[in-house]
Structure 1
Amino acid sequence: MSLQTGCIDGVRDGVDENGVARLEIDRPAQMNALDGAASARLITVCHEWAARTDIRAVVISGRGGSFCAGADVAGMADDAAAGGGFDESQARGIIENGSNLIGAVRSLRVPVVAAVDGPAVGIGASLAVACDLVYATARSYFLLAFVNIGLMPDGGASALFTASLGRARANAMALLGEKLPAADAFDAGLLTAVADDEEGLSAQVDRALGRLLRASPEALKTTKSALDAHSLGGYDEAIAREIAGQTALLQSPQFQQILAGFAKH
């Protein structure tokens, strides 16, 4: 499943002869946590692919046993320490970057498949659940740990997880910071299927791609649009609330104190 293309800003991408496009986060030393450069690269590639007519499906994955551990908080802490904290403009820029990433994934009209191996945390969890079909290995888990560091879910998580899990389970993840293992995520309706290991995950994704490639491209696009309109009708309003709330929380004394603990000494 790994791409053999060169790595640009922590991301590998490529499109095969069948029109299957693959994005792979390649920052294993950081558990594929996203810094500004990696997020920008993902956004750019998704927008480029959204404008192409030869792409039939997109697969998003992470390299090295992690899907995505969320935002690179250690890098964020170093930036905050260097600048004496975040002002409103900087805080808004941080949260809008995550929102733009998920928006870029949602701008893809073709089916998007998440291949999740390992943790999907924070914006990484939103990235996975923003996809149309979500496959995971048994060792994977999903975590919205924002409350533990004085923040709120972002990247559309308040809409995406509520739509996928229902209010009670989404509240437990967001308010209590509860980890959702892959088996429980499947039972709750968050996942399409669970595989024993990475090899099984690759086989499941390939089978799904085979079925997608045999289907009418226009039928798939129209169906995806109809499903999204119903299940995520409040997505734009959720993003606006998250940007406003998270912008304030990123500047809060509580978060600044927590962030200082992540700074390199």
Structure 2
Amino acid sequence: MVSQESASIGGLRVDLDDRGVGWLEIDRPDRMNALDNATSAALTETLHRWSTDDRVRVVVISGRGGAFSAGADVLDILESSSQSSGGFEADHARGVIATGSAMAQAVRAVRVPVIAAVDGAAAGIGASLALAADLVYATSRSYFLLAFINIGLMPDGGASMLVSASIGRARANALALLGEKLRADEAYAAGLVTGIAADRSELDRTVDAAVTKLIRSSTRALRLTKAALDAETMAGFDAAIERELDGQTELLQTSDFQAAIAAFAGPKSQG
């Protein structure tokens, strides 16, 4: 395949092949693909640009090196906090959370199908990013984790709506309020993911098969079908984003969060 577009931006590999398939690979394996500001911004900008590019027929988002994404990069958050007079004032706090929210909204803004290929951890905003996709395929060793509560925060990136709409109130409450891990087989049984693969090689084949089927379909039909499905299933997404932004802005300024994030300040910390 010939690339129409290829780049490495921050911690993101970007490729648009000659079939019209856009590939976005989070490339920070030493941090379990935790999302820093540069990588999040590159994801958001690329998705927005592709949402109006008629060449793009399908988008695939994945992570390199054994994890989809461990969530927001705590070290990056700590650095941004230290650069803003040692804390999170309201405007700065909202800006931190808005970065992740914008990324999830950018996924939903893409008019053609978006596929998440999940191998390993999809935690925090990484889980939100994966679950914002239209089709989610995961390896059997993968898991989804909304561990925000463990650092004094709440789900964001639309996760409060995305998870509860798919798996029901009781299971969603356990994930969000108790910080429970949802393994791939449980996520599939609960209707949160589209399919399960035994390993990364099988995942790649499964995603390729889905991509091949999608690009054989009418792009206009796919766009209209996605829009119709979203009108029924995603009507509460933007409202959820706003509630999460308000809640997270408040929580980022609390002493509970400040204490929790300080405890994570180590060379292998992710959030």
TM > 0.5: yes
Aligned equivalent of 1:50: 51
In 1: Cα distance, 2:209 partner to 2:7 partner: 26
For this pair of structures, how many residues does the alignment match?
Answer: 263
Give the 5 Å matches for 1:172-211. 172-211=174-213
In 2: Cα distance, 1:13 partner to 1:163 partner: 31
- Structure 1 residue 74: Cα displacement: 2.1
Aligned equivalent of 1:78: 79
Partner deviation per Cα, 1:216-260 (whole Å, 9 max, x = no partner) = 111111111111111111111111110100000000011011122
Aligned equivalent of 2:109: 107
TM-score (norm 2): 0.94
**Contiguous gaps of at least 5 residues in structure 1:** none
Aligned equivalent of 1:98: 100
**Contact 2:6–2:16 (CA under 8 A) maintained in structure 1:** no
In 2: Cα distance, 1:67 partner to 1:217 partner: 27
1:59 aligns with 2:69: no
**Contiguous gaps of at least 5 residues in structure 2:** none
Give the 5 Å matches for 1:196-235. 196-235=198-237
Partner deviation per Cα, 1:14-61 (whole Å, 9 max, x = no partner) = 111110110000000110000111100001101110110011100000
- Structure 1 residue 73: Cα displacement: 1.0
In 1: Cα distance, 2:111 partner to 2:202 partner: 27
**Contact 2:37–2:76 (CA under 8 A) maintained in structure 1:** no
Give the 5 Å matches for 1:128-139. 128-139=130-141
- Structure 1 residue 132: Cα displacement: 0.4
In 2: Cα distance, 1:233 partner to 1:76 partner: 31
Aligned equivalent of 1:147: 149
In 2: Cα distance, 1:253 partner to 1:22 partner: 40
Aligned equivalent of 1:36: 37
**Contact 1:119–1:140 (CA under 8 A) maintained in structure 2:** yes
**Contact 1:159–1:234 (CA under 8 A) maintained in structure 2:** yes
| 4+ residue runs over 4 A deviation | 3-6
- Structure 1 residue 80: Cα displacement: 2.3
- Structure 1 residue 262: Cα displacement: 2.7
In 2: Cα distance, 1:81 partner to 1:41 partner: 23
In 2: Cα distance, 1:196 partner to 1:36 partner: 32
Aligned equivalent of 2:171: 169
TM-score (norm 1): 0.96
